[in-house]
Amino acid sequence: MKTIDLRSDTITLPTDEMIEAIVNAHKAGRLGDDVIGEDEVVNELQEKAAKILGKEAALLVTSGTQGNLVSLLAQTRRGDEVVVEEQSHTFMFEGGAMASLGGLFPKPVHGERGYILPETLESAISPDNPHYARTSLVVCENTHNYAGGTITRPEQVDALAAVAHDHGLKIHCDGARLFNAAVALDVPAKRLVDNADSVQICLSKGLSAPVGSVIAGTEEFIHEAHRTRKKVGGGMRQAGIIAAPGIIALEKMVDRLKEDHENAKLLYERVKGIPNLVIDEPETNILFLGLQNLSISQMKLSEELAKENIKVYGGYGVRTRMVMNRMVSRDDVDRVAVALERLLK
């Protein structure tokens, strides 16, 4: 029986074309030392990503967490305050890196479905007073994982950025799943970050590359990001073996994200009628099943699904997360739905 893995879209395997791209880059003699800017494949990826995101320049990094950290450190000073949504990935799931490695003070604030309202940001900015840390940056997450793959619309980003810039703050977009938002809204990805000073995108989630993320922004920002990436051990050598599948990811794997969104909605339609199940209609590829009104715990649900070769994470309190990805078919969704209907009823 096939194993259906709904733990994350990070479990996606690279396509055959991605593996071939790595081999072809080597055969063509295009690999080089990326630390000194001599890997042609990395340079191609960075130029392509910058163009897609509407930014002056871009930089390959090893992961989304590293990309967010580098972006924050390159635009702040030690002791600065960073406004984050209280359930954001940057605040909850990145090992406290901004504080432990960057000396930055996170200020978590409540968001509406993951979005920091402009008035919330306005009230969160600390006075220019020596008693307070200097507020210098705000982070938005699009799509927002913990809120259920929710989308921040372009006009929302614009409004948040307007407040940030009026107060001299930078705005960084954790766009690990930015292309999910772009596909769902049918807008270019760059429209979602028009007014963001920096953005990070993951190549290794729904886009199915085996490893890597990209950050983008102004030439000045990327110049400083190079230095910061080196400090945190992100300088790589023949990194074209990462960049080659990343190029395929950007060129050929974006449009297919729509399939993941459709599968998420299909599962929602199948299980939304289960009595006492708390579930919101998904906007993209992530669903959270709220079990607080049911007799089964999320750990028990995880264990029971595992018996049927269905994998989900068991660490979200009373909620179970399910993430649609390229490795999950429509038939798989049917199988998951049948299992859930039996276990939750």
For the chain, give every domain's residue range. Answer: 16-252, 256-344
pLDDT of residue 345: 86
**Topology of domain 256-344, CATH:** Aspartate Aminotransferase, domain 1 (3.90.1150)
pLDDT of residue 235: 95
CATH no., domain 16-252: 3.40.640.10
pLDDT of residue 40: 98
Comparing CA positions, the residue from 150, 90, 136, 127 lying closest to residue 284 is: 150
pLDDT (tens, 9 = 90+) of the chain, 345 residues, equals: 899 999 999 999 999 999 999 999 999 999 999 999 999 999 999 999 999 999 999 999 999 999 999 999 999 999 999 999 999 999 999 999 999 999 999 999 999 999 999 999 999 999 999 999 999 999 999 999 999 999 999 999 999 999 999 999 999 999 999 999 999 999 999 999 999 999 999 999 999 999 999 999 999 999 999 999 999 999 999 999 999 999 999 999 999 999 999 999 999 999 999 999 999 999 999 999 999 999 999 999 999 999 999 999 876 678 999 999 999 999 999 999 999 999 998
pLDDT of residue 314: 74
SS in 3 state form for 189-254? HHHHHCCCCEEEEECCCCCCCCCCEEEEECHHHHHHHHHHHHHCCCCCCCCHHHHHHHHHHHHHCC
pLDDT of residue 188: 98
- CA 142 to chain CA centroid, nearest Å: 7
